[in-house]
Structure 1
Amino acid sequence: MNIIELVAQWFADPAQWSGPAGIPVRLAEHLAYTGLTLLIAGAIAVPIGMYVGHTGKGRIAVVGAASALRALPTLGLLTLFVLLMGLGLMPPIWALVILTIPPLLAGAYSGIAAVDPTLVDAARGLGMTEWQVLAKVELPNALPVLLGGLRAAVLQVIATVAVVAYINLGGLGRYLIDGLAISDPVRMFGGAILIALLALVVDGILAVVQKFAVSPGLADRRRRKRRETPTVGAVQGGM
């Protein structure tokens, strides 16, 4: 019997779908860790990114910091926080928050900074305050990029939150850690499939949200701009 058949049997086993270690409980734990991480990271990264994108102040520092944070190793950062803060829920969550900030920060900064300056100048000419310009002009126009950064962050967190099982917490990562501990490839394979499926489902939901959250007028304007912008091949062909 090959590994695919064994994994199918593992999923079909009713014992995997009940009890405190069942798939529904592990899935709920995984989503809870993911949601908490995104909530804290978003509260830190999005306001900073919007401020930098709106004012242009600290742009180089923010871009450099985001690039540096992306290079940090997940397991090493998790171990460091556990050594500094001890066991519990928050040490791994703070480690994940640090790794989640870069895509959210980049999405917020890039989205606000990319708004057409003529729109911003027109809003200021109408007498809008800086807060009104940000909230009523820049933020709606930056929403597609902001949501793109959110989708990237969510996928990253869903994938990396599995490491919290390394310090005896729950989530779908338990199947990977426990399977590795007892040399059970079927359990590890099943856990990897669950994490991948969760990422695909959540990304699909966010894609639908992104589609309906963006103003139809803004989407049409972006499509017209793409059609009006000549491609590299077209430019070279006309030369």
Structure 2
Amino acid sequence: MDVISSALAWLNDPLNWTGPNGVLALTREHITISAVAVLLATVVALPVGVWLGHRGRGGVLTVVLANTSRALPTFALLTIFASTGLFGATATTLAVAIFAAPPILTNAYVGMRDVDADVRDAARGVGMSGLRSLFSVELPLALPLIAAGLRTAAVQVVATVPLAALVGGASLGTIIVSGLALQRYGQVVAGAVLVAALCLLVEGALAWAQRALTPVPMRPPRRRAHGVPASDLP
């Protein structure tokens, strides 16, 4: 209980929220690193997954790339980068971008492959070229699953970016690492709570965005009281 009380006291201290090492500044750094990492992973992995899924080839390559990327621990990558003289936000961004790529790549590929073959044939039947069918028909149908991959990657990145504090980078992990160094365990808990809250916020925002991007006929029905689907209500 003393640790919890200390954590609450730390969170309620206005001095911990302002300044270059305050919660607000560290949160901005945390979000910036996360956003750049997800963007970098998306630029690399999304086109590859979409194109391979559209062509209907490269399933084995997709699995190999995804599994290989997952097999690289982010902390190990940070250690490798640090040994080559790469520290701070740059090292963290590259490491978590590699960590974010597998779900984006896999979901893009699976989303494209899950498009009904009859829909593809219908698009070709009305005279659409391969590229027009890709952008006008296949991508919109695959978008919900692609968005799910981006959502998974983003939440994983936000949860992993605290490791930046181990290589001289600024993030909410700085609060945790400095608390451990000073044996201020209430501060450690406070930092963990802030990271968890940011993950939940990102998850909620992206869940809303994923539903908004899903075509209405493909959306799961909303449920109201007593578990009755909204579509079944008068």
Partner of 1:15: 15
TM-score by length of 2: 0.90
Partner of 1:173: 173
Q: 1:220 to 1:96 in 2, by over 3 A?
A: closer
8 Å contact from structure 1 (residues 176, 187) kept in 2:
yes
What's the CA shift string for 1:28-54, capped at 9, x where partnerless?
Answer: 100000000011100000000001111
**Distance in 1 of aligned mates of 2:38 and 2:2:** 38
Partner of 1:219: 219
8 Å contact from structure 1 (residues 82, 92) kept in 2:
no
Cα displacement (A) at 1:220: 6.9
8 Å contact from structure 1 (residues 85, 91) kept in 2:
no
Partner of 1:205: 205
**Distance in 2 of aligned mates of 1:6 and 1:91:** 32
8 Å contact from structure 1 (residues 159, 195) kept in 2:
yes
- Give the partner amino acid of 2:174: R
Answer yes or no: is 1:6 the counterpart of 2:9. Answer: no
Cα displacement (A) at 1:58: 1.9
**Distance in 2 of aligned mates of 1:147 and 1:37:** 16
Cα displacement (A) at 1:166: 0.7
Gaps of 5+ in 1: 222-239
Matches within 5 A, 1:119-198: 119-198=119-198
**Distance in 2 of aligned mates of 1:124 and 1:220:** 29
- Give the partner amino acid of 1:97: A
Partner of 2:52: 52
- The percent of aligned pairs where both chains have the same amino acid is 38
- Give the partner amino acid of 1:78: L
Partner of 1:229: none
Q: 1:220 to 1:26 in 2, by over 3 A?
A: closer
Partner of 1:104: 104
- Give the partner amino acid of 1:59: G
Alignment RMSD (CA, Å): 1.5
8 Å contact from structure 1 (residues 75, 163) kept in 2:
yes
- Give the partner amino acid of 2:61: A
What's the CA shift string for 1:158-198, capped at 9, x where partnerless?
Answer: 01111111111111010111112122211111111001000
Q: 1:220 to 1:154 in 2, by over 3 A?
A: closer
- Give the partner amino acid of 1:111: G
Gaps of 5+ in 2: 222-234
Aligned length: 221
Partner of 2:230: none
Answer yes or no: is 1:71 the counterpart of 2:71. Answer: yes
TM-score by length of 1: 0.88
- Give the partner amino acid of 2:188: M
**Distance in 2 of aligned mates of 1:15 and 1:91:** 29
**Distance in 2 of aligned mates of 1:37 and 1:149:** 14
Cα displacement (A) at 1:149: 0.6
**Distance in 1 of aligned mates of 2:82 and 2:56:** 36
